[in-house]
Structure formats: structure tokens, C-alpha cells
Structure 1
Amino acid sequence: MLNFTELHPIGMPIGCIVTLHGRGVRGEDLAPLADAIALEGIRWIFPDGPMELPGSWGGRAWYEIPPHHPRGLLQSRKLLFELIERLEQEKTPSKRIALVGFSQGAVMSLDVGVRYPRRIAGIVAMSGYLARPETLAVEKSPAVAGLPILLIHGKNDEVLPVEGAREAQAALRTEGFSVRLQEYLMGHEVIPEALSEIRTFLNQIFEAEPRNRRS
């Protein structure tokens, strides 16, 4: 089971955003995103990756650096499936859950979101890539046809070059996902213009899914 930090809205949440960190930090380090994106009625979940990184002052990771990452990636996928299932058991339908990730977290957001057996609201992948694209056609969930995906990437990213996002866009489109790539003049980071684009996208996907009404 993954440890996580969470932020609750005032009143009943209309949706949940699971936000996945990059290598070497913790979930709570992404908590400022909630204020920066500023969506009303959202429950934010910030899980810690399962791998400890020695010498990183408590930093975590989701998998080892490629090419040694398949086992860790599969383990993290399983743990994130379990986290989403837990949220569903807490009466948040999967269609009201979005995945947002940065760097390694972006990789995991894509990996999990396109394979989860029930449809989620959508995916935002910042400065990431699509891991193991050759398995996508076989492993994608039948429930995710046309799933909205926003890719955000810096043209000057020297950590994970933008070509990875372009390849991800092509592979995802081939498999029928509604994917859009926004490139910015930035490095391995997220600038205010990108946050504005993310805010618009998240507002759209939560408005597109009807809320459960209570009698």
C-alpha cells in the first residue's frame, strides 16, 4: 500500500486528482500544484513512490532508471491500481478520478491510466514518455477508447527530451486515444502557461463527466 498526502476541498468533492511525483522527491513536494491549478471541489492525492533512493534525503522513485525498469514499473502499476480501487471503494467513481504526473510520475500516469480496467476522467503527463509502447495495443483497457490525454513538455528539456513526448503522442493516437501535446520553451519544469493549459484541461474533463447526485 502506498503512503500519500491528501488535500480535501470544502464540501463534497466533485472529483479526485492523483498526482505522481518525479524521481528523487516525495508526493507532498507536489502539493503546491493544488494551489497553482486552483480547481474547486477537488480532492488531491499525492502518493509516495515505493522505492527509497539512498542519499536523497527521503526522496522516492517509481522505478529504476531504464533499461532496468520493467520490474519496478510493473510493481508501481499494481500499487497504483490498488490506490485507485481504494478511492472507488470510498465512493469516488473511476470516471471522476484523473491522473497527473511529472517526469517519472508522468510515465506512471500514462502507464496506469491506459491500462486501468475502468475508465478514468483523463491523464496529464508533464515531461514524461510512454514506457513500453510495444505492449500498448495488447494491454490497453477496452474501457479507455478515446480517453482524453494532455501531454506537456519543454522543447529544451535535457533530462527527458521532447522527442519522447512526440513519440508518445503518435503511439497513443494510433491506439485511439484523444491525445494532445503542448510544447513550451522550457526545460524539465512546468511554467505558468503550462499550468493554465492543465487547469483548462482538467476543468473540461470533470465537466464532461456527470456527477453522482445524492437524493
Structure 2
Amino acid sequence: MAPDMGMAGTTVETVRGLVYGPGGKRLDVHRPAGASGATPTVLLWHGIGPDERDVLEPLARATAAHGALVLVPDWRSDAPDGGRSHLLESLAFAREEAGGLGADGESLVLAGWSAGAGAALGVALRPEIADEWRPSAVVGLAGRYDLPARTTGTPPLDDLTAGRDPGVPVHLVHGTRDAVVDARYSRDLTEALRTPGRAVTLQEPETDHAGVIMTAYDPAADRCIPTTGEHAVRAGRMVAGVLATAGA
């Protein structure tokens, strides 16, 4: 367990490497020190890079500093099922175990970055894959929604066109300087969701694909790494606030 002072002035505890399901994959837990009972849960899925839970640690810790328990699992997009079983196993773990880790056991925000964003929205649109369960809210970060979701196999936009409803608030964040996944994909989803009775928000900070999760892409490592770049820190702080309050 690694305690540290979070960005919001709250001491954050991190527990790394908990096995979360039959597949043997691991997740990290980031929570405010002394979390007990009243803490909301955020399950945060990384993007298409296999087993990259560490990439989301800066954002997860910033979110925990706002008072949320954040679970960040590894999953593998190159698995035979595209990562579906890993994602759903991590969801089952969050639903069953968050209470024992210091959360309230009721409020669970499902969030994802890049490929993880569509996977998160897919669960809300097709709750039958989780025994008719829906999260308290969905947060999509720099995602595409016209591609098959890793959880459902169908594009979220197609599900919306077919009349499916997420049934919960959807909060989107997409950097205006994103050269990997253009912000128009989140704008298109926002327009598709904007019907009477639905809650949807879209924020577009001036940052790029990596910056929206408080990181920078390192070509030598071929992965995103923590950064102190002003645009990324500013965007990450905003996203952390969205994640921590989305289920309120």
C-alpha cells in the first residue's frame, strides 16, 4: 500500500495488483485514506494497449483525491474475445467487492479512455450483459462510438439508432487537439444522445489524446507516461472532478 498526498490535498492510498477474476488479471485500487462506507466507486478502463493500468494511475489518484474509490484493471484487447471477458470480470469484481474496499457499494461510475470509453457506454446500452445492471453514470474519455464496443460487439451509435437508451447520465470529455481520435466522435455521440429526458454533457479541454488522462505519449516507450505539461495537468484535474462527481 502506497499512501501519498493527492492533488486535492487528500491523502491517497494505492493498493496494486489485486487479482479480480478467473482470468487472473490484476487491478489497482486508489482511494482516499480511511475510506469507509460513503465513498463512491469509479471503475476506469484503459485503452487498446494491453495491460496498461499503470497509464491511468495519475488520473486515478487525482480522482481518489476528490473522495472516490477508483479501480483500474488491466485488460487485453488482443485476447481472443477482444478483451470482453476481462472487462466484464472487472465489472463483476467492482460490483461485488467495492463495499469491502471502503466504498458505499451502491454508486458505481463506469468510465473508460479511448477504446475503454465505448466499452463503458456499451454496458449501459446493453445491460443484459451484466444481469440487467446499469452504472450510476458513464464517463467517456476521448472515445470512438462508431466502432464495436469491446463489451458488446456492437457500436454504441448503432444501438442508439436502434432505439436503445443508456438510461443513465453520460459525461464525455475529448481534447480539441486529439490527433488520434478526433473530437468529432464525441460530438456526434452527444448529438445522438440529446433527446428529451436524457442527461449528456460534453467538455472539450485544449489537450490531446494522452493529455486528457494527465499523460504524454512517449514514442520510445510506445506508451503514455505521467507528465507535468500544463495542458495535461489542467485537463486531468478537470476529468478527475467529472469522474468523482458523475454518480452524484
Query: Normalising to structure 1: TM-score of the pair?
Result: 0.70
Residue 111 of structure 2: aligned partner: 100
Report the residue type matching 2:42 in the other structure. Answer: I
What are structure 1's unaligned runs of at least 5 residues? 52-60, 65-70, 209-215
CA distance in 2, matches of 1:74, 1:175: 32
What are structure 2's unaligned runs of at least 5 residues? 1-20, 148-154, 213-231
1:73-113: CA deviation from partner (whole Å, max 9, x where unpaired)? 65455435433443368596664111222111222122224
Q: Is the 8 A contact 1:19 1:47 kept in 2?
A: yes
* 166 and 76 in structure 1: CA distance in 2 versus 1, 3 angstrom threshold: farther
CA distance in 1, matches of 2:206, 2:91: 34
CA RMSD of aligned residues (A): 3.2
CA distance in 2, matches of 1:173, 1:79: 31
Q: How many residues align?
A: 188
Please identify, of 190-199 and 98-107, the stretch whose mean Cα deviation from structure 2 is larger. Answer: 190-199
Asked if residue 23 in structure 1 is aligned to residue 23 in structure 2, the reply is: no
How far is the alpha carbon of 1:178 from its aligned partner?
Answer: 1.0
Q: Is the 8 A contact 1:94 1:120 kept in 2?
A: no
Report the residue type matching 1:112 in the other structure. Answer: V
How far is the alpha carbon of 1:153 from its aligned partner?
Answer: 0.9
Asked if residue 186 in structure 1 is aligned to residue 207 in structure 2, the reply is: yes
Higher helix share: 1
CA distance in 2, matches of 1:83, 1:40: 22
Percent of aligned positions that are identical: 26
Alignment of 1:66-145 (within 5 A): 72=82, 74-75=84-85, 78-87=88-97, 90=100, 95-116=106-127, 117-130=132-145, 131=147, 132=155, 133-136=157-160, 140=164, 145=167
Higher strand share: 2
Asked if residue 195 in structure 1 is aligned to residue 199 in structure 2, the reply is: no
Report the residue type matching 1:23 in the other structure. Answer: I
Please identify, of 15-24 and 87-96, the stretch whose mean Cα deviation from structure 2 is larger. Answer: 87-96
Query: Normalising to structure 2: TM-score of the pair?
Result: 0.62
How far is the alpha carbon of 1:151 from its aligned partner?
Answer: 0.8
CA distance in 1, matches of 2:164, 2:47: 23
- What secondary structure is seen at the aligned counterpart in 1 of 2:204? strand
CA distance in 1, matches of 2:239, 2:181: 20
How far is the alpha carbon of 1:203 from its aligned partner?
Answer: 4.3
